[in-house]
Amino acid sequence: MLGLTLSHYKITGKLGTGGMGVVYDADDLRLPRKVALKFLPDELADDKDAVRRFAREASTIALLSHPNICTIYDVDTHEGRQFIAMERLDGVTLKIVMARQDLELSRLLDIGRQITAALGAAHARGVVHRDIKPGNVMVADDGHVKVLDFGLARQFRMPGSNTIGLEGSTIPGRPLGTANYMAPERILQLPLDPRSDLFSLGVILYEMATGRLPFAGASPSDTVTNVLDREPEPITTLAPDRPASLEHVVMRLLAKRAADRYQSAEHLADALARVEIPPSTLATRLLRRLRPAR
């Protein structure tokens, strides 16, 4: 693909490959900007369900306009394969950020607030992301956060509207997504609910705070059992320097029943704003560095 010109985009490099897409670096030949071009992987090019999800990703992102959500510019085809032209993001995924360093509380909260803002914007337009995880969150060098990869997103019925029905997974019996970050209702394939995205964000906050996943098991089935039936170890046990107020917010997000969580991104944003940031000390920084690796 290197050097090819597709429509008015010239491919200059490969950015990465994931389960739902191959992303290339490209120059927009009409406008002075870099873009990212996303294709389905070769092995999914003839998968009708994957093609449908890919097209839905483009139409879903087109509904959304927010500083913390990756912007889509165009949808086109090349040799019969559809591709999405989107904002070229500088930075690394949150997964890489967490692997490189322990996060100070202020930065953890800032990232959490920005993801919350993105989810609030999506939910306000009737969109549930359904795959919130560190690999789908980009963090720029200046700390700006962008949520991306809406390939599993679905629309849900807005209050007072009958235009969009509640829907479950596209494949009965097999929920799509990453088990470690799935809410119980997602695993059980219950009707769509934006509060499932908040559960996934709770898992991310827990992981940022402790360096561990709250429900990880020895096998995928163990992980599913943990999500459905077990409570995670308290944050303050694993990371004593983290404030109890943060633990309270995260544990509420990880409630098994959606009704016991924060009921909207706006409510969560208010709660995160109330988390105290205690003075940083050398002792607490040393404690975190000595914490066993996950």
Q: What's the CATH code, domain 9-87?
A: 3.30.200.20
Any idea which residue has 């992980």 for tokens?
Answer: 223
Residue 98 has what pLDDT? 95
Q: Comparing 9-87 with 92-286, is the CATH topology the same?
A: no
Q: What is the DSSP string of 217-267?
A: -SSHHHHHHHHHH-PPPPHHHH-TTS-HHHHHHHHHHT-SSGGGS-SSHHH
Residue 40 has what pLDDT? 85
Note if 110 is an active site residue.
no
The catalytically annotated residue of 74, 141, 222, 241 is: 141
Tell me the CA end-to-end span of the chain in Å, nearest whole number.
Answer: 38
Ranges in the chain, pLDDT < 70: 18-20, 157-176, 279-294
Residue 159 has what pLDDT? 56
92: which strand partners? Answer: 139
In this structure, are residues 275 and 208 in contact, taking their beta carbons and an 8 Å threshold? no
Enclosing H/E stretch for 112 = helix 105-124
In this structure, are residues 64 and 119 in contact, taking their beta carbons and an 8 Å threshold? no
Query: What are the structure tokens assigned to 129, written together?
Result: 């992301």
- Distance between CA atoms of 55 and 99, rounded to whole angstroms? 32
Q: Is the dihedral of CA 93, 94, 99, 103 positive or negative?
A: positive
> Quick one: 257 exposed, middle or buried, by C-beta within 10 A (0-12, 13-18, 19+)?
exposed
* Residue ranges covered by each domain of the chain: 9-87, 92-286
Residue 158 has what pLDDT? 56
Task: Return the SS3 of 73.
Answer: strand
- Alpha carbon separation from 101 to 181, 215, 281 (Å, rounded): 21, 22, 17
Residue 290 has what pLDDT? 61
> Quick one: 245 exposed, middle or buried, by C-beta within 10 A (0-12, 13-18, 19+)?
middle
Class assignment of domain 92-286? Answer: mainly alpha
Residue 171 has what pLDDT? 38
pTM of the model: 0.85
Enclosing H/E stretch for 10 = strand 9-18
